[in-house]
Chain A
Amino acid sequence: MLKPAQTVADTEASAVFRGTAMPWFFLLPSLIILAVFIYLPALQTLRLAAFKANLILGTERFVGVQNVTELLLSPAYRQVALQTLIFMVLTVSLGLLFSLSLAWLASRPVRGSKYYRLLLIYPYALSPAIAGTLWLFMFNPEIGVVNQILGSLFNVKPRWLDDPMLAFGLVVVAAIWKGLAYNIVFYLASIQNLPGDVMEAAEIDGATPAQVFWRVAFPLLTPITFFLVFTNIISALFDSFALTDILTRGGPYFQNAGITTFLVYQLYQDGFVNFKSGVAAAQAALMLLLVAFITYMQFKVGEKRVHYGS
């Protein structure tokens, strides 16, 4: 993984071509795109957060930190933040647990393991929007296959998308399912790069398969696990938008807000449905802090705790 301070120095050592304009000619396209479409909007977001603004009407009124304080005091927004956190913790932990178990199983030298691997990773090609579409149809209360089976077996037809707890559970399971293939790809790759002789030695010394996994393999897999924890946190925060937008539309309503309304969904709602641009920008500013914190932790934890084997 990236170690910024070190890498710039590494880069300097090998400089061979001369010229002061040349490097900028190569860099400028990227830098212009980043400046115009990333850094400018980021600054504009911070500015807008201090206004009561409506981009459609073009109105703006300076309110300082009022948007942020209103958000932090709002029971609905707090609920959305808490829901997002629970969703994130559940999908990341369970998702990685299942992915690692499946990748480990598929790495065992059984006949046909290459087909198992292929069948486990091809859903990588699925988008969150497609995932939402498939699950919406499967869990349709009247014509969905799940209720048709449950109805004929147990004579129950749960209203999956109307009941808050069921809807939340459904979104969690769908998100875990969607993420499996990506995680399995990385775990499979890492498991295959494990030093086989070390594990063999452990087995010869009489370690049980469980001991080989927990004492030898698992510690060697911590770097990839940390990498996946962070990429999964990011995708729980952002990729969940398409899934929830199609599957539940943020609902059903529970206490102060839709139970499957997560941070990005709320931002979208306030910005593009309610047209409260300033409030949405304030949410974006809070999310920027969150992402910055997550990235910072990634470097911090990555440097300190991760055991980079080999």
Chain B
Amino acid sequence: MTVKTDTPPLGGRGPGRRGPSWPTHLALVLAVVIISTPLIFALIKATQASSQVISPNMLPGTSFFSNLSNVWVDANLGRYMLNSTIVAISVTTGKTILALMAALAFVYFRFPLKSVAFTLVLLSLMLPTEVLIIALFDLVSRDLQWANTFAAIIVPFLASATGTFLFRQHFLNIPTSLADAARIDGCGPLRYLTHILIPMSWNTIGALAVIQFVYAWDQYIWPLVIVQQDDKQVVQVGLRKLIDVGGQTDWGGVMAGAIITMLPPLIVFTLLQEQFSRGFALSEDK
């Protein structure tokens, strides 16, 4: 499946080509406006000085950077953003590497207990972190002594069932003759992975990276319980802290913070949009 946002639909592909087009335009404009209202509102309020922020005034102001600098330094937003960036990049990279390796094992090897291992990976989809949180908290904070560390919010998320399956599916569609040829030429599995499979998998890697980055960036409940130390906290929980400051919320600052917080996933999404579309187009054909 593809998300073709960058090309106009082909002549005969789109549905419903009869009738005037203005009702469609009207409905779409209305929908876009309604969907965007909370964001437009946030954008405007983020630029207003504190007296305007709490007024009905909806004209953009010039205080975006002063609002931002207020929360960036005083309310620790800069630190939260850095932490989230470290965590999201580590989780995305780690998940991708581990999933590539696992998929390599499942596709190119025959070994005992393969279906058991496969089932274990598959079943993990049924056990979301949110449900395991009590026992996970006990394990990570008491047994591993990882409370207030990045390890606590990175390591438990490094295995990816979704990633393993998508790569597996992708590898299965690469002709086996390629691997046979590589093996005959004396190329080992690791070299085959790094020199042949990965260069052939950029679309799938890109598609997964978008999903995994957004997922890691949006983590909320687990950091909320496992991280008590402010300078290790992630930005999603940080937003909550910006609001809870003894009744006197700096809403201009919070809106500026919210805008900044949504930028990294937006950037990743924009940069990898092509791969995102193609990666899923490939996996859906089979």
**Cα separation A134 to B41 with both chains bound (whole Å):** 8
**Cα separation A127 to B259 with both chains bound (whole Å):** 11
Please, which residues of chain B bring their CB within 8 A of the CB of A268? 133, 221, 225
**Cα separation A41 to B280 with both chains bound (whole Å):** 32
**Cα separation A274 to B6 with both chains bound (whole Å):** 51
Please, which residues of chain B bring their CB within 8 A of the CB of A264? 130, 221
- The reply to whether A234 and B128 form a contact with Cβ atoms under 8 Å apart is yes
- For chain A residues 105-119, which have a beta carbon within 8 Å of chain B? 105-111, 113-114, 116-119
Chain A residues within 8 Å of chain B by Cβ, number: 117
Judge whether B101 is part of the interface by a CB distance below 8 angstroms.
yes
- The reply to whether A2 and B127 form a contact with Cβ atoms under 8 Å apart is no
What 1/0 flags go to B177-193 for Cβ under 8 Å of A?
Answer: 00110010000110010
What 1/0 flags go to B153-191 for Cβ under 8 Å of A?
Answer: 001111110001100100010001001100100001100
Classify the secondary structure of B's interface with A.
helix
- The reply to whether B117 and A130 form a contact with Cβ atoms under 8 Å apart is no
**Cα separation A114 to B6 with both chains bound (whole Å):** 6
Judge whether A186 is part of the interface by a CB distance below 8 angstroms.
yes
**Cα separation A113 to B28 with both chains bound (whole Å):** 9
Interface residues on B, range: 35 or more
**Cα separation A125 to B214 with both chains bound (whole Å):** 7
- The reply to whether A4 and B139 form a contact with Cβ atoms under 8 Å apart is no
- The reply to whether A30 and B159 form a contact with Cβ atoms under 8 Å apart is yes
Judge whether A137 is part of the interface by a CB distance below 8 angstroms.
yes
**Cα separation A59 to B184 with both chains bound (whole Å):** 61
- The reply to whether A114 and B108 form a contact with Cβ atoms under 8 Å apart is no
Please, which residues of chain A bring their CB within 8 A of the CB of B258? 130, 133-134
Judge whether A291 is part of the interface by a CB distance below 8 angstroms.
yes
**Cα separation A202 to B42 with both chains bound (whole Å):** 45
Please, which residues of chain A bring their CB within 8 A of the CB of B3? 117, 121, 185, 188-189, 192
**Cα separation A260 to B260 with both chains bound (whole Å):** 28
- The reply to whether A241 and B130 form a contact with Cβ atoms under 8 Å apart is yes
Residue of A nearest to B192 (CB): A17
**Cα separation A137 to B117 with both chains bound (whole Å):** 48
Please, which residues of chain A bring their CB within 8 A of the CB of B131? 45, 267, 284, 287-288, 291
- The reply to whether A133 and B217 form a contact with Cβ atoms under 8 Å apart is no
Judge whether A228 is part of the interface by a CB distance below 8 angstroms.
no
**Cα separation A268 to B132 with both chains bound (whole Å):** 11
- The reply to whether B118 and A8 form a contact with Cβ atoms under 8 Å apart is yes
Q: A11-B168, A242-B221, A291-B127 are in contact. Are A137 and B251 (CB under 8 A)?
A: yes
- For chain A residues 181-198, which have a beta carbon within 8 Å of chain B? 181, 185-186, 188-194, 196-197
Please, which residues of chain B bring their CB within 8 A of the CB of A245? 220-221, 224, 240
Judge whether A95 is part of the interface by a CB distance below 8 angstroms.
no
- The reply to whether B142 and A55 form a contact with Cβ atoms under 8 Å apart is yes
- The reply to whether A191 and B6 form a contact with Cβ atoms under 8 Å apart is no
A10, A42, A203: residue with the most chain B Cβ atoms closer than 10 Å: A42
Please, which residues of chain A bring their CB within 8 A of the CB of B246? none
Q: Which of A20, A217, A291 contacts B15 (CB 8 A)?
A: A217
Judge whether A81 is part of the interface by a CB distance below 8 angstroms.
no
CB distance from A22 to the nearest CB of B (A): 6
- The reply to whether B45 and A33 form a contact with Cβ atoms under 8 Å apart is no
Residue of A nearest to B254 (CB): A133
Residue of A nearest to B188 (CB): A17
Judge whether A255 is part of the interface by a CB distance below 8 angstroms.
no
Judge whether B261 is part of the interface by a CB distance below 8 angstroms.
yes
Classify the secondary structure of A's interface with B.
helix
- The reply to whether B135 and A128 form a contact with Cβ atoms under 8 Å apart is no
- The reply to whether A108 and B39 form a contact with Cβ atoms under 8 Å apart is no
- The reply to whether A8 and B114 form a contact with Cβ atoms under 8 Å apart is yes
- The reply to whether A30 and B130 form a contact with Cβ atoms under 8 Å apart is no
Q: Which of B2, B15, B137, B239 contacts A246 (CB 8 A)?
A: B239
Binds A, one of B19-27, B62-70, B198-206: B19-27
- The reply to whether B127 and A11 form a contact with Cβ atoms under 8 Å apart is no
Please, which residues of chain B bring their CB within 8 A of the CB of A122? 266, 269
- The reply to whether B109 and A23 form a contact with Cβ atoms under 8 Å apart is yes
Judge whether A253 is part of the interface by a CB distance below 8 angstroms.
no
Q: A31-B120, A107-B9, A130-B261 are in contact. Are A192 and B127 (CB under 8 A)?
A: no
**Cα separation A185 to B269 with both chains bound (whole Å):** 12
- The reply to whether A209 and B1 form a contact with Cβ atoms under 8 Å apart is no
- The reply to whether A130 and B135 form a contact with Cβ atoms under 8 Å apart is no
Q: A137-B251, A143-B251, A189-B1 are in contact. Are A37 and B15 (CB under 8 A)?
A: no
Q: Which of B5, B126, B159, B218 contacts A128 (CB 8 A)?
A: B218
Q: A24-B111, A34-B120, A108-B15 are in contact. Are A130 and B239 (CB under 8 A)?
A: yes
- The reply to whether B262 and A23 form a contact with Cβ atoms under 8 Å apart is no
Q: Which of B14, B108, B112 contacts A109 (CB 8 A)?
A: B14
Known contacts A134-B41, A193-B1; 8 further A-B pairs (Cβ under 8 A): A11-B106, A14-B179, A31-B121, A42-B132, A127-B218, A127-B265, A194-B15, A284-B131
Give the 5 A-B CB pairs with smallest separation, nearest first: A189-B1, A15-B110, A44-B135, A23-B109, A37-B156
Listed by A's residue number, 18 A-B pairs whose Cβ atoms lie within 8 Å are: A8-B114, A29-B102, A30-B102, A31-B121, A34-B120, A40-B139, A41-B136, A113-B8, A123-B39, A129-B236, A137-B251, A143-B53, A192-B4, A245-B221, A268-B133, A284-B132, A291-B127, A295-B126
